[in-house]
Amino acid sequence: MTCLKFYVITCGLLAYLASGIYGSSEAEQKEMETQSKLFTKLFHKYHKHVAPVRIHPEHQKKMAINVSVNIALQSIVNMDIHSGLLETQIWMMIEWVDHRLSWNSSYNVDSLHIHPDEIWRPDLALFDSEMMEEHPVKYPLIMPSGKVYWVPTYKAFAACGKSTWYFPNDKHTCSYKLGSWSYDESYLDLRSNGDKLMTYYKEHTDWKVLGESIERHAKKYACCNETYVDVTFTLTIQRVTSFYSAILVTPAVLITLALILVFGLPPDCRQKIDIIIGVLIISVVLQFHLATVVSEATALGGFLLFSTIADLLILAETVLVYNLFHRNTRTHPIPECLRSVCMSVLPRIICLTKPRARKYDVTLNTNENDGDERDIKILESSQKAEDVDEEWRFIARVLDRISFCIFLIFYVLVTACILVQPS
């Protein structure tokens, strides 16, 4: 008896499962047949190369196809400074109505997914750059009203300016100028509904987005009499400066400050030349490194060029001052014009105290012989020569201080003109 009950229960379960599977497959088969009939009905006389233009029932004029387009930026891939193109990953959200693809509720089908090559699509293209559709192919969604939703993904290149003058604080305005290549405004009215440009954006490590905007333009071109519509999506991006500030900007400022500190050493210090040559080598290395990053003209490159030129001039000035500091009156008497300018005029301007002439207390003893008198006269002449040599040293200090003031003024002016970025 127990075996019989077990057998009945098992057969009942198997029958139930079989009926469920059969019922499910039957429902799926019915839905597939319905969709096949709908496809046959929709594409019986459908021509994908003919635009779904309708005629106004009252005015008997053709009505433009209303196409709504939006771009959603996914990520920034690369910014090519040399070509001025911003490589990005985008979603393009396109909507339009194709009345030939509408159906009534009797088919009991809520939506259809059709390969994009099987239906008419607006021939949207970027006017000033290019975009490439990515695989796999994204299928458009078609609603019973004939409205088509299509969201293809593209690798798009936005056109940007090539201005890198304020590198690494450079800003770029990049734009996607999107429009129909073949249809004018009377056939295709292109618009953008809403701002979804930054909805799905993922932050980039080297670039940050400062702002975005969308504008619609209707323009006549020289080639044609018709008006063509485009929608321009604009991005304003700025480079993240932390990395380049650490390896380029900070060393450039520090080596220039080192040139200023060189003037704090005495004019007869030989190590000044070693420091100046070391700064010159670092400046040249930084210029080569900057050229590998960006080949366009930059303010930082101009600053490094100024630093190199100033370094060479300071090197020449150091050699000249060192030479003047060690001159003596026997071989190089001081010209009167140089004495008057460097001993009287310039010290007042640069706040440098003129050395006082030493007083010599030489008393002659009448009881001394002529030889002693001659020795005293030689002592007087040598002490006066030392005073003249001291004047050469003072002239060297004056020229060194003047050079410092000139370099400091030029350093402030060049920094203000080149490195300070206007708002």
CATH code for position 206? 2.70.170.10
Range of the domain at 202: 54-240
pLDDT in tens, 221-240: 887 788 889 999 899 999 88
In a domain, 39, yes or no: no
Q: Are residues 201 and 73 in the same domain?
A: yes
Res 338: pLDDT: 73
pTM above 0.75, yes or no: no
Number of domains in the chain: 2
In a domain, 147, yes or no: yes
In a domain, 223, yes or no: yes
Q: Are residues 98 and 216 in the same domain?
A: yes
Q: Are residues 178 and 303 in the same domain?
A: no
Q: Are residues 265 and 343 in the same domain?
A: yes
Q: Are residues 248 and 236 in the same domain?
A: no
Q: Is the pLDDT confidence value at 13 over 70?
A: no
Boundary-marking domain end, from 179, 210, 240: 240
pLDDT in tens, 58-83: 766 788 889 999 988 899 998 888 88
pLDDT in tens, 383-413: 444 545 677 788 888 888 888 888 888 888 8
In a domain, 93, yes or no: yes
In a domain, 28, yes or no: no
Q: Are residues 80 and 103 in the same domain?
A: yes
Q: Are residues 250 and 308 in the same domain?
A: yes
In a domain, 16, yes or no: no
Q: Is the pLDDT confidence value at 365 over 70?
A: no
Boundary-marking domain end, from 189, 208, 240: 240
Pairwise CA distance, residues 275 & 215, whole Å: 57
Q: Are residues 95 and 159 in the same domain?
A: yes
Q: Is the pLDDT confidence value at 184 over 70?
A: yes
In a domain, 191, yes or no: yes
Res 18: pLDDT: 45
Q: Are residues 206 and 283 in the same domain?
A: no
Q: Three-state SS across the chain?
A: CHHHHHHHHHHHHHHHHHHHHHHHHHHHHHHHHHHHHHHHHHCCCCCCCCCCCEECCCCCCEECEEEEEEEEEEEEEEEECCCCEEEEEEEEEEEEECHHHCCCHHHCCCCEECCHHHCCCCCEEECCCCEEECCCCCCCEECCCCEEEECCEEEEEEECCCCCCCCCCCEEEEEEEEEECCCCCCCEEEECCCCCCCCCCCCCCCEEEEEEEEEEEEEECCCCCCEEEEEEEEEEEEECCHHHHHHHHHHHHHHHHHHHHHCCCCCCCCHHHHHHHHHHHHHHHHHHHHHHHCCCCCHHHHHHHHHHHHHHHHHHHHHHHHHHHCCCCCCCCCCHHHHHHHHHHHHHHCCCCCCCCCCCCCCCCCCCCHHHHHHHHHHHHHHHHHHHHHHHHHHHHHHHHHHHHHHHHHHHHHHHHHHCCCC
Q: Are residues 299 and 337 in the same domain?
A: yes
Q: Are residues 207 and 158 in the same domain?
A: yes
Q: Are residues 207 and 63 in the same domain?
A: yes
In a domain, 279, yes or no: yes
Boundary-marking domain end, from 240, 258, 292: 240
